[in-house]
Amino acid sequence: MQVRQIGNVTLYHCDLSEVFDLLPRDAVVVSDPPYGISYQHGGGGKGSHDVRNLKPIHGDEVPFDPTPWLAWPRVLLFGADHFRARLPEGGTLIAWDKSVGQGPADSFADAEFAWANVKTKRNVIRHLWKGLCKASGPECTEPRWHPSQKPVAVMRTCIELLRPRLGQPVLDPFMGSGSTGVAAVTLGLPFVGVEIDAQYFATACDRISAAHLAGGGSPDEILQAVA
């Protein structure tokens, strides 16, 4: 297990089962888990969807079971349309509109769906992201690090929809390249992330560290430990 501490951020590189009992039970959970679609790139790796250098997502070859995460008080999980039958009644389905009314431009879906275990009237997130990224903003200057990478702005909105208390940690047990962690840092919230893939973990550490330093954090707070 590798543990990275960046200010009030704790990042674990390990199998989730190794740290499940250590995860903060008072956290809000915001995550894009592997949900069994066995990601494949399309279009022969051409054009803006060239993801040939990105590895498949660990665990995406089996259906996702949301049950363990329903014990947390506030939860938001992407991919809800793929495991809706395994979710309880109630809550809110949230649509991320990736084309923002521009219509079909490729073979990818125009929206992704998340489920939150809280009621919210704001159930559509409009943020242009088709063709990797066409919207203006800092995310568009970044390369694509992960096949299911989410914009930081979208993950920030997801955190805000759960209305975390001041100082309440945000937990992403399937951290990937760290967009949820960057969003939490920009909101001034503690963050705990878990990622099993070494390459994606390293990317998440770099992105979250940069966000921490940009927000005035000291580099002396960045420590690394291996257990």
CATH number of the domain encompassing residue 215: 3.40.50.150
187 lies in some domain: yes
Q: Which of 92-96, 135-139, 167-171 has the lowest mean pLDDT?
A: 135-139
Nearest to 102 by CA among 137, 131, 78: 131
Distance, in Å, from the CA atom of 161 to the CA atom of 76, rounded to the nearest integer, reads: 9
47 lies in some domain: no
46 lies in some domain: no
Q: How many CB atoms lie within 10 A of CB 11?
A: 24
Tens digits of per-residue pLDDT, 48-105? 334 445 566 665 567 789 999 999 999 999 999 999 999 999 999 999 998 876 665 5
31 lies in some domain: yes
76 lies in some domain: yes
**Residue 160 region by backbone torsions, left for phi larger than 0, else alpha for psi between -120 and 50, else beta:** alpha
125 lies in some domain: yes
The total domain count for the chain is 1
Residues 6+ apart with CB under 8 A from 164: 28, 74, 170, 189
Torsion of CA 95, 67, 200, 142, to 10 degrees: 10
14 lies in some domain: yes
203 lies in some domain: yes
Q: Is the pTM of this model over 0.85?
A: no
Its domain, for residue 170, covers: 2-40+52-226
Q: Residue 115 is inside which H or E element, if any?
A: strand 111-116
